[in-house]
Structure 1
Amino acid sequence: MDPVWITTVLLVPCVVVLTAGFFYLYSVIMGLLSKTSVRNKVVVITDALSGLGKECAGVFHRGGARLILCGKSWEKLEELADDLANASDPTVTFPSKLVLLDFGDMDSMPEVISEILECYGCLDILILNSSMKVKAPAQSVSLEMDKLLMDNNYFGPATLAKGLLPAMISRRTGHLLLVNSIQGKIAVPFRTSYAASKHAVQAFFDCLRAEVEEYGISVSTINYTFISRSASTENTEPASKSIWSLLYSRKPLGVSLDEAATEIIKTLSNKRKEVVIAPSLPKVAVYARSFFPNVFFAVMAAGVKNTAASENM
């Protein structure tokens, strides 16, 4: 047997294992560095009481960030702050600051902006995490609901960002991160008002990114499908075999809280401008909308005729 061939057979598996090991260690090290990159940074998290908000609060708190947690309920914010304090070493973490924030009350925004700036006098990172969802045929959504959606998903985050920007510009540093839905990229039936608000806020921060780059301020957007529910709450009914039902099935196309929070940390650390967190099929839909629009429109329209799938959206 050829010695060269024997050597090759023996070396290839070793090279593959070593390479895989190197990339694994690299990912672990980068993950640890990302989590410590927020140490001593002033981080504002909106809708900190949501599942993702709490997950981010925990990750940032353990990383040594100076948190400013925003939410609608003072009592629940206090509970969250206590939970964070009890689960960490007080010698390496900071007590969380709390600010009441309701994007549905736009008249309160000037006061909210002042309270946030009074906490530390500045901020380094603003995570805009809030979202309001509505699922209904377009003709059944009232104008009042349209306005409420736009306040929560567009006007609120945009107004808060504009109000806090001068503090970042004066220091010529800062990072704004918008946690947005994948429906800021594609529009789905029975989500007319919701998708419109998500498209609007996506466009706002895409424009803002170019405007503030000269001041050393980064703007990132993260578009994800939805947060996966726990296995205990998954629908146990037999799934439909149609493409439409697969597109909107809850289990395989969602992302976990840990996955989303980890991606947020990495995005901040690497200053990536845009990230889509989704399995392959939703990502294909995003590209199909741009390069094969007629195919995308046909699939969306066909899905509306699928009653079972429509009710599952």
Structure 2
Amino acid sequence: MWVPSSAVLPLLIVVAAGVYYIYNEVLRFMSKSLVRNKVVVITDAVSGLGSACAQLFHKGGARLILCGTSWDKLESLFESLTSESDPKETFSPKLVLLDFSDMDSMEDVVAEVLECYGCVDVLICNSSVKLKAPVQNISLELDRNIMDINYFGPSSLAKGVLPSMISRRTGHIILVNSIQGRLAVPFRSSYAASKHAAQAFFDCLRSEVEEYGIIVSTISHTFINASEPPPVEESEPQQNALAAYISSQLTHGVSPSVLANEIVQAVNRKRREVVLAHPIPRVALYLRSLFPASLFAVLSAGVKDSVLAEM
């Protein structure tokens, strides 16, 4: 059948849209079937990202173990999940108090997590604390606290569930890290250092446990923003243009729902590494590897301009 040339492009667009829709529907169906009955542990489940992950995995029929520092918030999340779901299709989540700033409690927490179902299929290490300040203004105590929450906590929890995964020769450990685990920017020394440490630990772990059928994934994202960033006031002093643009892109985050979907897809497709960032941070990553001096010069110029603006 002859088709007018003017109708070819619209027809291709319709066909492509249809294929894309079917592809997404297949992925959505597979997402539910692949996580069904899986024991999934989510740390800091009461955060925006944690709750978004909990909703997706709960709807998919996973057996959730939700961890957090506040029992009241955990119970509130429990109620929101169970009130909106079909009990015939989903499992009631189990709740565990977990505070990475209290490292002495980690052994008991690991035992409690394993007692819930006897094993862990997927561990999502989501907890994180941020800090922005000059190096000279950060106390050693604060440094240690950030390292506990961002590095020692996730690594200790991963070590705790690892023996059961090794014995079953299956499992998936996911570190929700940050783009700053790969790229350090000024005034975030402690935060970036903890993220670099976590990135290195889980990169090493990935290679060590592959022979046991265990997958280790790292999610490197820009900051998580639940809402649009506030507009910049016109009276605010301007930094070096390029440095300011890089800084704005590094701090322009992703929404919890988008990141939660990426985590689900990482589980389903067994993806080892996910970078969720805008083009500028991605370019900065390449500059760090190929032309470090250029990147350092841009960042240093941005710091000098910000100091002059405050004088």
TM-score normalised to the size of structure 2? 0.92
Q: Gapped runs of 5+ residues in structure 2?
A: none
On the 8 A contact 1:124/1:174 being kept in 2, the answer is yes
Offset at 1:44? 0.2
Find 2:16's aligned residue among 14, 19, 27: 19
CA distance in 2, matches of 1:144, 1:224: 27
Change (3 A) 1:245 1:37: same
SS at match of 2:35: coil
Q: Which amino acid aligns with 1:278?
A: A
Give, as a single letter, the amino acid of the residue that structure 2 aligns with 1:226: F
Unaligned ranges ≥5, structure 1: none
1:304 aligns with 2:303: yes
For residue 176 of structure 2, what is the aligned residue in structure 1?
Answer: 179
CA distance in structure 2 between the partners assigned to 1:121 and 1:308 by the alignment: 55
CA apart distance, 1:168:
0.6
Aligned Cα root-mean-square deviation (Å): 2.3
| 1:267 partner amino acid | A
- The equivalences for 1:75-90 within 5 A come to 75-90=72-87
The alpha carbon displacement at 1:23 in A equals: 2.9
The aligned amino acid for 2:248 is: S
Cα shift at 1:13? 4.7
What is the alpha-carbon distance in structure 2 between the residues aligned to residue 93 and residue 184 of structure 1? Answer: 35
CA distance in 1 between partners of 2:272 and 2:83 (Å): 35
Alpha carbons of structure 1 residues 92 and 19: separation in structure 2 relative to 1, 3 Å? same
The answer to whether the 8 Å contact 1:227/1:256 transfers is yes
What is the CA–CA distance in structure 2 between the aligned matches of 1:252 and 1:148, rounded to whole Å? 23
Q: Is the 8 A contact 1:248 1:309 kept in 2?
A: no
CA contact (8 A) 2:68 2:98 kept: yes
CA distance in 1, matches of 2:284, 2:80: 40
Counterpart residue number, 2:233: 237
Partner of 1:105: 102
**1:60-108 deviations in whole A, cap 9, x for unaligned?**
1111110000111112111111111111111111111111111101110
User: In the aligned structure 2, how far is the partner of 1:106 from the partner of 1:152?
Assistant: 9
CA displacement at 1:260 relative to structure 2? 0.3
Partners in 1 of 2:218 and 2:157 — Cα distance? 16
TM-score, L = length of structure 1: 0.91
How far apart are residue 49 of structure 1 and its match? 1.3
Taking the aligned partners of 2:197 and 2:97, their CA distance within structure 1 comes to 25
The CA deviation string for residues 273-302 of structure 1, in whole angstroms up to 9 with x for no partner, is 100111111111111111121111111111
Q: Retained in 2: the 8 A contact 1:31–1:266?
A: no
